[in-house]
């Protein structure tokens, strides 16, 4: 029996299978030192202080160099002048530092001078938008993480540049999270750095703009940048005022007041819902005021808000005015202990005015509410007269002044009669 030998399978000869570009890039070596030398080659004949020429060279180099792959290396060269190894120290391979780098900025540090270096980065990122993500997610957090290794003058340059980058929208405030690490927080290093960052930021933008940037970047608690023994509102206020940043201190104070006010209102509503006595409610407010004090004018305002928000309004509008007057009469004894001067009395009247303007259910009852608060010793006739003459808020001013005019006239006539008797 004969066996037939299997025919060999055909094969391609001399055919080169081309690999995908993505696969080639993935298998390519990561050689930041080679990239560094290529960047230096492009910049070798450019004067370091000719910022326009440096920008043009870097933009041109982007067409041939792999900026995306070596984004961190690129920014390290432009910011600190050389490649960094883990730990924040320069790679020691004998290579010189870049002639063009942020750390070559003038000393003492000037925001206007640093801004020229930042503008180079700005134009480069505008041309190659993919560079922004590595800058804010990797390069800046890494530099901040090792801030303690840099001399003070270099820290200042990096901080000022970071503030300007954030102000121009080229970096998120999330990069500041690296500064909350324990080894940086001690000895006030982080607190001093964020003061420098904020100062340079505010040279270009407003405090409201900075506040929004911090919120988007997830920076909720500035006290996290302070040593544990200094994590108090007082220490933070003193630090920023000493640094010439009173607007930051005031913003933080208002922000903390808002949080405290929310807590007071919430606690007040809970106690009223639980049926606690008015005496207990007053005692609880006073105890909280001793622990975390609010200005008297702010406190009386949030007490009113907490009390009025506990009212269960009727679906029928014609019943709400009478309901409001009855409820305010009932809880006036909670407000009265905290109306301890002309300022707090006028503040209470303004709080009632603004609330009545915003909640039109009781807008017509405004004069009657003033009468109740006067009869319950929450406000004086002098406070009402002062409010009517020059202390009112702009919200619905003309309406409320006209509505309260008969009551004010009565008090003025009464005052005139008293003077005649004397």
**What is the distance, to the nearest Å, from the Cα of residue 239 to the centroid of all Cα atoms in its chain?**
17
Q: Give the pLDDT band (50/70/90) at residue 154.
A: very high
Q: Give the pLDDT band (50/70/90) at residue 311.
A: confident
Closest CA to 137 of 113, 108, 111, 165: 165
Of the ranges 157-166, 219-228, 317-326, which one carries the lowest mean pLDDT score? 317-326
Put simply, whether the predicted model's pTM sits higher than 0.75 gets the answer no
Non-local (6+) Cβ contacts of 385 within 8 A are: 408, 411, 412
Query: 268-306: buried (b, 16+ CB within 10 Å) or exposed (e) per residue?
Result: beebbeeeeeeeebbebbeebeeeeebebbbbbbbbbbb
What's the pLDDT at 6? 61
Higher pLDDT, 2 or 54: 54
Closest CA to 159 of 205, 102, 212: 102
Q: Give the pLDDT band (50/70/90) at residue 219.
A: very high
Cα–Cα distance measured from residue 133 to residue 14, given in angstroms and rounded to the nearest whole number: 44
Non-local (6+) Cβ contacts of 150 within 8 A are: 88, 158
Report the percent of the chain where pLDDT is more than 90: 75
Q: Give the pLDDT band (50/70/90) at residue 278.
A: very high
Cα–Cα distance measured from residue 127 to residue 117, given in angstroms and rounded to the nearest whole number: 16
356-385 confidence digits (pLDDT tens): 999 888 899 999 999 999 999 999 999 999
Whether the per-residue pLDDT at 229 is higher than 80: the answer is yes
Cα–Cα distance measured from residue 82 to residue 184, given in angstroms and rounded to the nearest whole number: 23
- Stretch 7-22: mean pLDDT, rounded? 57
The chain-wide mean pLDDT, for the chain, equals 90
Whether the per-residue pLDDT at 14 is higher than 60: the answer is no
Cα–Cα distance measured from residue 231 to residue 222, given in angstroms and rounded to the nearest whole number: 9
What's the pLDDT at 1? 45
Whether the per-residue pLDDT at 210 is higher than 50: the answer is yes
Whether the per-residue pLDDT at 326 is higher than 90: the answer is yes
What's the pLDDT at 256? 87
């Amino acid at each position: 029996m004969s066996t037939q030998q299997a025919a060999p399978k055909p094969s391609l000869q001399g055919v080169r299978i081309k690999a995908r570009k993505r696969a080639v890039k993935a298998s390519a070596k990561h050689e930041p030192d080679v990239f560094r030398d290529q960047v230096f080659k492009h910049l070798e004949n450019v004067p370091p202080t000719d910022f326009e020429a440096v920008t043009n060279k870097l933009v041109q180099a982007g067409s041939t160099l792999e900026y995306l792959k070596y984004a961190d290396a690129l920014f390290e060269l432009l910011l600190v002048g050389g490649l960094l190894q883990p730990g924040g120290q320069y790679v020691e391979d004998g290579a010189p530092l870049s002639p063009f780098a942020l750390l070559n900025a003038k000393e003492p540090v000037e925001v206007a001078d640093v801004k020229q270096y930042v503008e180079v980065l700005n134009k480069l990122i505008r041309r190659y938008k993919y560079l922004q993500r590595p800058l804010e997610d990797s390069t800046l957090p890494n530099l901040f993480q090792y801030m303690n290794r840099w001399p003070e003058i270099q820290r200042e340059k990096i901080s000022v540049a970071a503030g300007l980058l954030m102000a121009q929208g080229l970096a998120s405030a999330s990069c500041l999270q690296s500064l909350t690490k324990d080894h940086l927080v001690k000895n006030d290093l982080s607190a001093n750095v964020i003061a420098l960052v904020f100062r340079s930021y505010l040279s270009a933008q407003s405090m409201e703009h900075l506040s929004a940037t911090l919120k988007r970047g997830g920076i909720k608690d500035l006290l996290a940048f302070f040593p544990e023994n200094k994590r108090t509102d007082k220490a933070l206020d003193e630090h920023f005022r000493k640094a010439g940043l009173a607007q930051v201190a005031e913003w933080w104070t208002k922000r903390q007041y808002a949080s405290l006010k929310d807590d007071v209102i919430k606690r007040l509503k809970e106690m009223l819902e639980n049926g606690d006595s008015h005496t207990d409610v007053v005692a609880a407010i006073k105890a909280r005021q001793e622990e975390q004090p609010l200005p008297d004018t702010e406190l009386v305002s949030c007490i009113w808000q907490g009390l009025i928000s506990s009212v269960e309004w009727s679906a029928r509008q014609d019943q709400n005015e009478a309901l409001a007057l009855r409820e305010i009469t009932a809880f006036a004894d909670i407000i009265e202990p905290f109306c301890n001067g002309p300022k707090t009395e006028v503040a209470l009247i303004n709080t009632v005015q603004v609330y009545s303007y915003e909640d039109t259910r009781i807008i017509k009852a405004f004069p009657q509410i003033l009468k109740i608060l006067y009869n319950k010793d929450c406000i004086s006739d002098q406070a009402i007269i002062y409010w009517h003459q020059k202390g009112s808020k702009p919200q619905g001013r003309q309406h409320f002044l006209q509505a309260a005019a008969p009551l004010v006239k009565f008090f003025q006539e009464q005052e005139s009669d008293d003077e005649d008797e004397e």
